[in-house]
Structure 1
Amino acid sequence: MNRLPRDRVQRHLQIDSTLAGRRLDQALATLMPEFSRSRLQQWIDAGQILVDDGPRRSRDKVWGGESVRVQAELEAQGDCLAQAIALNLVYEDEQLLVVDKPAGLVVHPAAGNPDGTLQNALLHHEPALAAVPRAGIVHRLDKDTSGLLVVAKTLQAHNSLVNQLQARAVHREYRALVQGHLVAGGSVDAPIGRHPTQRVKMAVVRNGREAVTHYRILESFASHSLLSVELETGRTHQIRVHMAHIRHALVGDPLYGGRPRPPQGCSPQLRSALQQFPRQALHAIRLGLIHPQSGEAMSWQVPMARDLDALLDLLRSDVGHADPHP
């Protein structure tokens, strides 16, 4: 494992009048969303960000029209080390790469997962990613969600993808196996925030952030449904929370799903498979976006994850399987 080199960020910006009255660090976080607010504060404190050619404090107010010069040293990703972890690359060019992430792989280091993550793998695959925030990771999948994830290889690509995500221009489609028999597709428009008493969970809460999920039925079983799910927003655990909110939690979800509910009269093999499925049955199957450099619309699709595909085969072969929806 090797520690990675540092790079420099040079920008010349002007504070927009719509940001008048806000703190300097807040305004810069709006203008430079590819960098965290804490990193911007560090640069301000170190004198690497000047306003009208002079130093400022993070809490100083801006009033619009100020000239901001950024000449900052972008350090390697803290203590994140390059590690030789296999990657299933679906696409790669000079600006971005697309990964088919397996279930069980954490996206970036955090408490309890200091290494062995996708970010460690990316830094080994492409050392230059040390110069891009979070090694180019602009969105995430939960540890036990499989499927497609895009990574920016340059600051230009990072900025473009962050803007596309904020503009809801990135198309993300999932396959979700949920408990219960739905009769029609629909949408869930319910704000999501931290659970008021269980801090490891998210929940639908009145003062949460806007969250919109669309779903349609692909296949129906005796007491389960296979859904195509599309995200309009991208909140933490969004699909898992929204499906549980409408009382159709994901199969195998240890946090939101409750106890498995095999259909009455099902085979012992299916009962065991449902009870022992080791993760939430969620797979990011399709991804679409605008290429950061060429402006071309691009999309990728991967096969269903093997473990989920095997479970679906069992459901299809068991007694009580309903006809697929058209």
Structure 2
Amino acid sequence: MSRNTPPPVEKAFPADTADIDEGDEALDEFSDAIAPVTLKMADDACGVRLDKVLSGLIPAYSRSRIQQWIEAGYVTVDGAPAKTKMTVLGDELVVVTPQIAPEEKAFQPEAMDLDIVHEDKALIVINKPAGLVVHPAAGNWTGTLLNGLLHHLPSLANVPRAGIVHRLDKDTSGLMVVAKTLAAQTDLVRQLQARTVKRQYLALVWGTPQLSGQIDGAMARHPRDRIKMAVSESMIAKPALTHYRRLAVGALDGRAVSLMHCRLETGRTHQIRVHMQSLGFALVGDALYGKPHLMPFFPRQALQAARLGLNHPVSGKYCVWSAALPPDFAELLVRAGIDQAVSDALDE
């Protein structure tokens, strides 16, 4: 290996996780940094920007990533921190300490307090708090439920997406099921596709919807705002069906609010939020689909996945789990003058 040839790049997650058994500490062995790369600058590099020279000598890393390392102090020139936009003179000794990118850390375990409602050999039922992202993605590469699950049970590295079969929005609280084996995950995904998984939610909305009904509105990305979803007649829109029932009416600052029981037949992104807004009844606290001037009443969408029912993937027995309203949601109902007891009026 020549002095200008970088060492092999280690992956931040094992390429083959099939041999990771429960209790294996292999996932904890990855450090934040890969071995430093020492390079001697050639005379013919004189006058060329350092980041450009380095991107040519270490082609495994992009120029933009090398620039980030220079700015963060992970590149030295003759023992001193490199400066952005500096040019090479020739004969300098440059040391680069590569850093694992955030997205490459996404599937590492992190210690986390998980509210586990039920756990057996096939599945885990989690009561997810508001504010917790379920799966790593841009802007949230760490600190997700997936990271916590890998710490709780390292063998979940053997299961795609660490056993996650469905998601809740970051600011939605409540119940989720996680498969502990590939067989259980396959079974649960098939149940979701067959619509035999029963998911019931509690939502506080602005206004007073009719006592009950259903919203049968296909959904797709919003045509102008790609962050949003929308009821759509587009050819690519996917079927979405929500059943709803009004449980109680209250008021916040003189404005009517209603506690709604929503039951999903499908599980589209933002489904309840979009469907209720399509009727003119946005969720209290919903910054994306609600009214900005009403946001101070609650810092997140008032939505709780309150009950989850499914056929156990091993025994076949129908199982149901419930979760009480979190303190912030319960306090919101008190402020609205709604008796929290009505939140227990869910379908069996």
Task: Identify the residue that residue 119 of structure 1 maps to in structure 2.
Answer: 146
1:147 aligns with 2:174: yes
Shift in Å, 1:182: 2.1
Task: Identify the residue that residue 122 of structure 2 maps to in structure 1.
Answer: 95
Give the TM-score normalised by the residue count of structure 1: 0.70
CA separation of 1:306/1:159 partners in 2, compared to 1, >3 Å: closer, same or farther? Answer: same
Kindly provide the amino acid, as one letter, of the partner of residue 210 in structure 1: P
Between the aligned partners of 1:295 and 1:120, the Cα distance in structure 2 is 29
Between the aligned partners of 1:194 and 1:316, the Cα distance in structure 2 is 36
Q: Please state whether the residue corresponding to 2:204 is helix, strand or coil.
A: strand
Matches within 5 A, 1:40-189: 79-189=106-216
Q: Please state whether the residue corresponding to 2:269 is helix, strand or coil.
A: coil
1:284 aligns with 2:305: yes
Shift in Å, 1:200: 0.6
Structure with bigger gyration radius? 2
Kindly provide the amino acid, as one letter, of the partner of residue 167 in structure 2: R
Between the aligned partners of 1:177 and 1:254, the Cα distance in structure 2 is 14
Shift in Å, 1:135: 0.3
Cα offsets for 1:182-227 (capped at 9, x unmatched) = 2321100001000101011101111210000010011112401000
C-alpha contact (below 8 Å) 1:129/1:136 kept by paired residues: yes
Q: Please state whether the residue corresponding to 1:7 is helix, strand or coil.
A: coil
Between the aligned partners of 2:106 and 2:205, the Cα distance in structure 1 is 39
Among 306, 309, 323, the alignment partner of 1:302 is 323
Between the aligned partners of 1:121 and 1:78, the Cα distance in structure 2 is 13
Q: Please state whether the residue corresponding to 1:100 is helix, strand or coil.
A: strand
Among 291, 309, 313, the alignment partner of 1:258 is 291
Kindly provide the amino acid, as one letter, of the partner of residue 151 in structure 1: V
Kindly provide the amino acid, as one letter, of the partner of residue 214 in structure 1: H
Q: Please state whether the residue corresponding to 2:309 is helix, strand or coil.
A: strand
Cα offsets for 1:264-296 (capped at 9, x unmatched) = xxxxxxxxxx72411000000000000000011
Shift in Å, 1:181: 1.4
| Long gaps (5+) in structure 2 | 1-11, 20-103
Question: Please, which moves more after superposition, 199-208 or 280-289?
Answer: 199-208
C-alpha contact (below 8 Å) 1:251/1:260 kept by paired residues: no
Between the aligned partners of 1:248 and 1:79, the Cα distance in structure 2 is 37
1:200 aligns with 2:227: yes
Kindly provide the amino acid, as one letter, of the partner of residue 215 in structure 1: Y
1:7 aligns with 2:27: no
Between the aligned partners of 1:114 and 1:259, the Cα distance in structure 2 is 28
Q: Please state whether the residue corresponding to 1:183 is helix, strand or coil.
A: coil
CA separation of 1:112/1:151 partners in 2, compared to 1, >3 Å: closer, same or farther? Answer: same
Between the aligned partners of 1:282 and 1:90, the Cα distance in structure 2 is 19
Give the TM-score normalised by the residue count of structure 2: 0.66
1:212 aligns with 2:241: yes
RMSD: 2.1
| Long gaps (5+) in structure 1 | 9-76, 262-273
Kindly provide the amino acid, as one letter, of the partner of residue 250 in structure 1: L
Shift in Å, 1:305: 1.4
Kindly provide the amino acid, as one letter, of the partner of residue 312 in structure 1: L
C-alpha contact (below 8 Å) 1:204/1:241 kept by paired residues: yes
Structure 1's consecutive aligned runs of 4 or more residues displaced over 4 angstroms after TM superposition are: 2-5
C-alpha contact (below 8 Å) 2:106/2:147 kept by paired residues: no
For this pair of structures, how many residues does the alignment match? 240
Shift in Å, 1:78: 7.7
Between the aligned partners of 1:141 and 1:168, the Cα distance in structure 2 is 17
Cα offsets for 1:146-192 (capped at 9, x unmatched) = 00000000011000000000000000000000000123211000010
Kindly provide the amino acid, as one letter, of the partner of residue 247 in structure 1: G
